[in-house]
Amino acid sequence: MQPGEQRDEVEMLSLMLLIRRFEERASQQYQAQKIGGFCHLYIGQEAVVTGAMAAVRDDDYIITAYRDHAHALARGTSADACMAELFGKETGCSRGLGGSMHFFDRKNHMYGGHAIVAAHIPLAVGMAFAIKYRGEDRVTLCFFGDGAINQGAFHEALNLAALYKLPIVFICENNLFAMGTSVKRSTSLKQIVDRAEGYDIPGEIVDGMNFREVRDKIAEVVDSIRKEPHPAFLEARTYRYRGHSMSDPASYRTKEELEKYRLDDPITRLRAQLTREGKLTNEQFDGLDKQAKETVLAAVKFAEESSQPPLEKLYDYTYADGAMEPGRPRPAESVQERREGAPSPTPN
């Protein structure tokens, strides 16, 4: 999205459907043993990332944790590239080297997909620092789950973001469970958003099942940051309909709880709003859903027909300089040497 543009809500509903159908198909392919390793699905949380993407520009920076398929799709990475990455194919968005938890799309400013809980939050702060250091008109959005807020990296990152007044929005996707542990059993505060207060960072709670509320609040926060750089914190209260990962039966929650949140499905909710307002018919919705399913089926076919990464490329991208093959000496000019002479950052 470019400055001044407003993304069409029917288009965003279509994106939510694409994410939902992609994740459902990923689940099937995982069970068919076409996808290996871990696989964390985003089903139920679609309003958070689509609402966020509707509020920012194409040149803003995005970074997230391991439940990252939706963030890549919402940012503009093709379903083909995403599915191919899950299959470990060379045509994947990370060239088949990252897998489910390490999606990456530099062209669309989507900088991961990170498997270690909270480890990407300091990276997000570094990205925001780069924006301010270069004098750019951008904002960084950093997504993470409720389990990340009890990690040391989270606290260190928020402290630095506040100290340097960096242009970053910390978005906690609070789906109530860190793996199988309820947030009520792992966090001393009643509201996650209160963590931001300790670092003098403004924070708010949004209904993460409501696309419009997420979009409007993030748009408001981002507009404020563009006028005067500063960090902000949003707790998006949402819910995942599947287990933490494909191996998780989610037996730690009741059927009644799951059904309660299914009645508040973010896709159903936005569909109902658009239908009431005369912006969407049942036939149009069915067409959008059919298109999403066809796109995902085509992505599976693309992934199946794509090639595995050649074994000789196993060491590629170990260093920024290129391939690092066994026995190959490091380039004479190291990263540290290239950085010599750069001024040290100072608090604002």
Instruction: Give domain status of residue 149, yes or no.
Output: yes
pTM: 0.88
CATH number at residue 76: 3.40.50.970
Q: Which domain holds residue 333?
A: 310-341
Instruction: Give domain status of residue 99, yes or no.
Output: yes
Residues 244 and 329 in one domain: no
Instruction: Give domain status of residue 255, yes or no.
Output: yes
Lowest mean pLDDT across 108-122, 298-312, 325-339: 325-339
| Tens of pLDDT, residues 13-68 | 999 999 999 999 999 999 999 999 999 999 999 999 999 999 999 999 999 999 99
In the prediction, which pLDDT does 95 show? Answer: 93
| Tens of pLDDT, residues 179-196 | 878 777 788 888 999 999
Q: What is the DSSP letter of 97?
A: S
Residue 120 has pLDDT above 50, yes or no: yes
Hey, which bits of the chain come out as E strands? 61-63, 140-145, 168-174, 177-178, 181-182, 203-207, 232-237
- The tokens of 74 are what? 């919402």
What is d(CA 246, CA 38) in angstroms, rounded to the nearest whole number?
7
In the prediction, which pLDDT does 340 show? Answer: 57
| Confidence band of 8 (pLDDT split at 50, 70, 90) | very high
Residues 126 and 178 in one domain: yes
Q: Are 304 and 298 in contact (CB under 8 A)?
A: no
Which helix (DSSP H) or strand (DSSP E) does residue 187 occupy? none
In the prediction, which pLDDT does 249 show? Answer: 85
Instruction: Give domain status of residue 2, yes or no.
Output: no
Residues 226 and 329 in one domain: no
Residues 249 and 113 in one domain: yes
Total domains present in the chain: 2
What is d(CA 21, CA 31) in angstroms, rounded to the nearest whole number?
16
Residues 143 and 45 in one domain: yes
In the prediction, which pLDDT does 319 show? Answer: 76
Residues 177 and 254 in one domain: yes
DSSP 140-169: EEEEEEGGGGGSHHHHHHHHHHHHHT--EE
Nearest by Cα to 235 from 189, 166, 186 = 189
Residues 234 and 331 in one domain: no
What is d(CA 289, CA 274) in angstroms, rounded to the nearest whole number?
15
What is d(CA 133, CA 219) in angstroms, rounded to the nearest whole number?
23
Instruction: Give domain status of residue 3, yes or no.
Output: no
Residues 229 and 286 in one domain: yes
Residues 291 and 276 in one domain: yes
Instruction: Give domain status of residue 291, yes or no.
Output: yes
| Tens of pLDDT, residues 223-271 | 999 999 999 999 999 999 988 888 878 888 888 988 998 999 999 999 9
Instruction: Give domain status of residue 16, yes or no.
Output: yes
Distances (CA, A) of 47 to 28, 43, 88, 214, 314: 23, 10, 28, 7, 37
Instruction: Give domain status of residue 43, yes or no.
Output: yes
In the prediction, which pLDDT does 345 show? Answer: 52
